[in-house]
A and B are shown apart, each in its own frame.
Chain A
């Protein structure tokens, strides 16, 4: 594991993000209140005079507001530049695109990595546990600040899809279209189990310092890297891994009979872990996975998911991938069935891809076609 030590990345904390402080407090499901939280966000394109071209993009667990512009830490293109950008399905020439870092995140929105507004010390694990609904509440407050009323669409994949569904449930009139990709309406026991492995890896790292690693000048990079490695496996498929790596060895002809990264797949995962710790806060990882685990949209309605969507006037498009075993098509189907039962207009497309859950982030012309067609049809509709 020596390869996982990484550099003592101070970079994350020093990057400046475009950020505003909300003029209102955000009450949380856990009973606490975030006093005028800071929200970091990016916008692309121009808001039309009638305000009808706004699209709110929700990011996934380890995503951020840099949906279509280079990441300030890694320098890589925006995480969804294939879908969002000039001439893309979410077209920054045509649409006004908003993407905000979720609360609990580590890219400039109120979260464990920011300093507590009163004490001046990092929030760390004094930050209250937040839920998917809390994240939506904060982003709706941001829309209000920005003067954006009814959206053309909300869209997101994975956790972003959960946020889109939560938004639709809590604000049935605020978006004309809802696109939820590779997602679920609740976290399954298996989903929670994988997240727990990640959290335990972080908390077992002595550099986590009971959550106060920022104050101690340390970072639990080993634990966070292991969490990322375990999670990354769930984003891929067995067929995808076999196709890409098989049993091929990394930079050698024969096994080392030791514990180096003999196999290409090991080397790949270690690389994923190492690069991740440079751009992500370990406590944010705890908070956001927790929010996802608590997510069960039907819970507030006695387990009847359909009741969560009753009264919604939005059109819904659910997209799943046949090789995604993390949020399989059956979950998307359950959501669509609830929407149909609620009398909403809902569509479901299962796309074929060998790349598992991560498919929504990859080059998928079929996905682009679905999003583009659905958005254009929504724009044409009265």
Chain B
């Protein structure tokens, strides 16, 4: 019944604190405070059953038989160790298993990203030096920076003047509206203009 008795925190809190991400520091602090409360509560109470000076009572009290009875009962007293009724420990174990699975997936994802970054560094290192870079090479390496016959562009061929650019598209629509307005005015006022 009496499982492992604990008196103080056995967790390596320093190593734990180092591993906490900066955005979770506050939660960590609260968690640690809670643990401190539990440790203090344990520390404030005696670890073993305190001794009672029965000899003193025997000398003072008239009936020593009663004191003997008390002493016998007190020394034979066995306090039951409390059980984890709500089975919280099992819940924690379950949670840990789930977290382990999640962590494994997360680490795999991170490792994949690291591999990608490493491949990218390798690719960047493979770029030719600038004095060897010809226009042809440039067109291969940075195709979005050279004219593409499949994707003709509007004059003056800079990105902000293309219709794919929402900022410019807005102007274009305004221009169309203006054009329509012009047509409308012309249809109304044409006879005077002529």
> Do A and B bind?
no
Taking beta carbons and an 8 Å cutoff, which residues of A are in contact with B? none
